[in-house]
Each structure stands twice: as structure tokens, then as C-alpha cells.
Amino acid sequence: MTDAVLCGLRVAGDLSLPELLPWTGDDRAPDLTIRLGEVPPIAEPVCGGPLLQVAADGSCRFEVAAVAAYRVDAGGREITIAPAVDSDSPDVRVFLFGTVFAIVCFRRNLLPLHASVVKIAGKAVAFSGASGAGKSTLAAAFLKRGYAILADDVAVVDPAAPGRALVWPAMPRLKLWRDMMDGFAFDTDGLERARVQLEKYHLPVETFAPEPVPLAAVYHLVEAREQRHEEMRLLSGVEAFLALDRAVYRRQLGLRLVGKEELFARSRAAASAVRSVRLSRLVSLARADAIVDQIAARETAA
């Protein structure tokens, strides 16, 4: 039986989740149960697309045909998985920790951000951006310099934490493509791949921050084409809110599941508690160290 922690939730069930840390908290009942079972299609979905449908009772079904079908109950407390491959294969967990866990977050008053998070001077600092924006790469550059990682790719924020937004640590790993593994001189030998067809590796990290940390800043990553176009600019007001709103992971899904008003309320709460910074920089390993220095200096001084 799995008894593990994911973003502060006690996770139990019969799927092995080797990337998660074991639960060491109180003896509460599991917050989230994951089990293997049948996941039949939803007969009359109230809304849905090719991969994801929502039933009238609020439960969701998500399927990647070659990998698995997933059901999340309306409360975000129970996940059922019908794997199309060996249930222990990493492919099944890739989507579990992606879209499926995002549903759980939306259902549990949490705010998932498309971001990687590192700990700088005791505070959580997030790097957000679309796929390919360089979130994991920047986190890897911080890791190389000895900073602790809290989350990679998906960062779960509790916007209702008293006084400030808290980031819940996810799991001690980074997802890095082959070119970046090589660029940072990380050894790929024996590492798990996200999908067997992809050279996207799961790099275990030792410097992991296992406790929740207040979120101090979100850096919204933008690619500059030349060094003279780089900038680090503090956003405020509507601009800061819009940047945070756009950083919501699976935002369209969140809008469907909780509605615009509620999702905006969560984003507003988070935006009002953190600094939002637009970070436009050259995407180049040669610049990575200098950018780490600039951010670390800024965050240490803040």
C-alpha cells in the first residue's frame, strides 16, 4: 500500500508512486486515494473534449488511449485508473501528476501553476511559462548551484493560506530533456524516462524542500532574442494579475471546473500576496549562471 505525500496531501492506494516521499505527518485519513479499476466512458458529459470529459455529477474522465484512462471524483478525493499498459510504467504517472492532479487541485481550492519552484533565502520563488519556456532549465541551473527544489512544471499554491500564498512541495525530481541533461552534465544512465519514446528524463534531486514555503515571487519567463533586450521588470495591478492568471496550469480546464469567478478569486489572492516579475532573457546555458545570480541577488535583497 502506498502512503505518501504529494503537495501536502496524504496519498494512499494500490498504485506504487516511487517518486513521492513517504507520509510522515499525522494519522489523518488519506486526503487522496488512488486505485486501479474500471473507468467507463461518461455517457452524457456536460462538457468535454477529445481527451477530457466532465459528468453531470462533477466527476471527470481523462484518457490518453495508449496509456490509461483516469477518473477523478467531484471532490478531488479519489482517483481511479484503468491502465492500458503495465500499471507500474512511468507513463501512467506522467498524466496522473499532470492533468489528473490538476483536476484534484481545482476541486480542492488549490491553484496549480505552470511553474517550477526553487527556495531562495527561505522563500519560494516560482518560474512560470508555457511548455518550452525554460522553467525546468532555470530550476536545474539553481539546483546546480545548490538551491533546493520545491516543484517542477506544476506548482501547487494554496491561495487561502492565512496571510500569504503557500507553495506545497511536490516531489524531489526535475524533468529535463536530453539536450539540457547533457548541457548541465547530468548523467542519464539508469534514469527513468517520462515516456519510453521521449528523451525526457526524470532526474532525482537531493536538495528538496519538503515543507511548505511562502511564495514570495513569480517570474514569468519570456525569451529575449538578444542580450540587449533582456529585462527584469516588476509587474503591478492588472498586469500582475493577468500574468498570474495566465500562469494557471490547465487554465481552460480550471475555468470549466470551478468557473471564472472562483478561478479569478484564487489567482487574485495569489497575485496580491506575491511579487510578479517579467523576466525576459536569452535562453542559453551560457547565460544561465548570470541569470541565477541576478535573481538570487534580487530575492535576497527583497
Partner 1 sequence: MSGIFWLASYPKSGNTWLRLALQSLEAGGAPVRFDEDKDNWWERKDRGRVGGIVSSRPFFESHLNVESSDLTAEEIEELRPQAIIAWAEGENSPIIKTHDAFLSSRGTPLFPDGSTRGAVVIVRDPRDVAVSFADHSGLSIDAAIDKMADPGGMLAGGTKRLANQFSQRLPTWSGHLAGWLEAPVPKLMVRYEEMKTDMASVLAKVAAFVEIDAPAAAVARAVAATGFDKLQAEEDRIGFRERAPNCRQFFRRGVAGGWRDTLTAEQVGRIETDHGAMMRRLGYEVSA
What is the side-by-side order of every strand in the sheet holding 60-64?
A: 21-22, 2-6, 9-13, 32-36, 78-83, 68-72, 60-64, 52-54, 47-48
Q: Is 46 in the site for partner 1 (CB under 8 A)?
A: no
The C-alpha atoms of residue 136 and residue 239 are separated, in whole angstroms, by 24
The C-alpha atoms of residue 76 and residue 207 are separated, in whole angstroms, by 30
Which residue, 200 or 268, is less far from partner 1 as judged by CB? 200
Which residue, 210 or 260, is less far from partner 1 as judged by CB? 260
Q: Is 98 in the site for partner 1 (CB under 8 A)?
A: yes
Q: If binding means CB under 8 A, how many residues of this protein chain bind partner 1?
A: 37
Q: How far is the CB of 203 from partner 1 (least distance, A)?
A: 15
Contact 30, 68 (CB under 8 A): no
The C-alpha atoms of residue 18 and residue 257 are separated, in whole angstroms, by 29
Compose the 201-240 pattern: x for residues touching partner 1 by CB under 8 A, - for all others. ----------------------xxxx--x-----------
Which triple of cell numbers denotes residue 223?
525569451
- Binding segment for partner 1 (CB under 8 A), chosen from 1-9, 16-24, 73-81, 196-204, is 196-204
For partner 1, the binding residue among 199, 211, 289, 293 (CB under 8 A) is: 199
Q: What is the DSSP string of 30-63?
A: PSEEEEE---PPPSS-SEE-SSEEE-TTS-EEEE
Compose the 12-41 pattern: x for residues touching partner 1 by CB under 8 A, - for all others. ------------------------------
Q: Is 50 in the site for partner 1 (CB under 8 A)?
A: yes
The C-alpha atoms of residue 29 and residue 115 are separated, in whole angstroms, by 29
Q: How far is the CB of 123 from partner 1 (least distance, A)?
A: 27
Binding site for partner 1 (CB under 8 A): 49-52, 62, 64, 66, 94-95, 98-99, 130-133, 153, 177-180, 194-195, 197-200, 223-226, 229, 246, 250-253, 283
